[in-house]
Amino acid sequence: MALKKFLDLGSPPPFRDAVTAVGGMLSRSWLEWFARLVSTLASIPNVVNGTVLEDQGASISATDFSGAFIPAGLYRASYRIRVSRAAGVSSSLTVTLAWTGDGVAQSFTGAALTGNTTATYQQGTVILRSDADALVTFAVTYGSVGAPTMQYEIDVFLEKLRG
C-alpha cells in the first residue's frame, strides 16, 4: 500500500468483480480502473535526460541536456554543483539554464557560488514551458585564482511534467 500514496488511483483494483464480461470482453469496472491507471502513470514526472560531470576545471559553454529536440510541454530542470577541489586563493561558479518558450529565449542564472571550500555547493530547480523542438541547455561560468586551480562537479537533469 506504500505505492498508493504516490499513485493515487482513487479506488483499489476491483478484485471482487469479474475480469471479463459477457462475450469475453474486459468488464466495465476493470476497464474504468485501467483507464485511471493509464492516466495516473502518464501524469507522473519522468526524467527526459541528465548529465553528470566530475573533475571540471573550466567554463562550460551552452550544452544541451535535454538529449534531443523535445516536444512542447512543461518541464522541471534541476542542477547541483559542488566545489570538489578548492582553489589556492579564490573561485567562482555560476550556472545558467536556458530554453525557448512561446518563441522567446528564456534563462535562469543562479547566484555566483564563491565559497572556496569543498563544502561549497548550490542546487536549483526551474519549472519551464518549452516550445516543441527546442533545446534546454546549461552553462557554467568558471573562475579560479591561485594554485591549485578549483575543480567542480555538476549534475543537471530534465524531467517532463506535462505535455
Least confident of 23-32, 117-126, 138-147, 152-161: 23-32
Inside any domain, residue 62 = yes
Query: With left for phi above 0 and alpha for psi between -120 and 50, is residue 103 left, alpha or beta?
Result: left
What is the pLDDT at residue 5? 42
Domain housing 67: 46-162
Inside any domain, residue 145 = yes
What is the pLDDT at residue 83? 98
State the CATH number of the domain containing residue 150. Answer: 2.60.120.260
Inside any domain, residue 123 = yes
Inside any domain, residue 21 = no
Residue 163: pLDDT band with limits 50, 70, 90:
low
Which is higher by pLDDT, 109 or 66?
Answer: 109
Tens-place pLDDT, residues 65-97: 887 778 999 999 999 999 999 999 999 999 999
Q: Is-contact 153 53, C-beta < 8 A? A: yes
Inside any domain, residue 74 = yes
Return the residue matching grid coordinates 536549483: 124
Inside any domain, residue 54 = yes
Inside any domain, residue 66 = yes
- Segment 43-47 long-range contacts (CB within 8 Å, at least 24 positions apart): 43/162, 44/6, 44/7, 45/76, 45/159, 45/160, 45/161, 46/159, 46/160, 47/157, 47/158, 47/159
Tens-place pLDDT, residues 30-53: 888 888 887 777 777 788 899 999
What average pLDDT does the chain have?
A: 89
Tens-place pLDDT, residues 49-58: 999 999 999 9
47 Cβ contact partners less than 8 Å away, ≥ 6 residues apart:
157, 158, 159
Q: How many CA atoms does the CB half-sphere of 22 hold within 13 Å?
A: 0
Inside any domain, residue 31 = no
What's the total number of domains in the chain?
A: 1
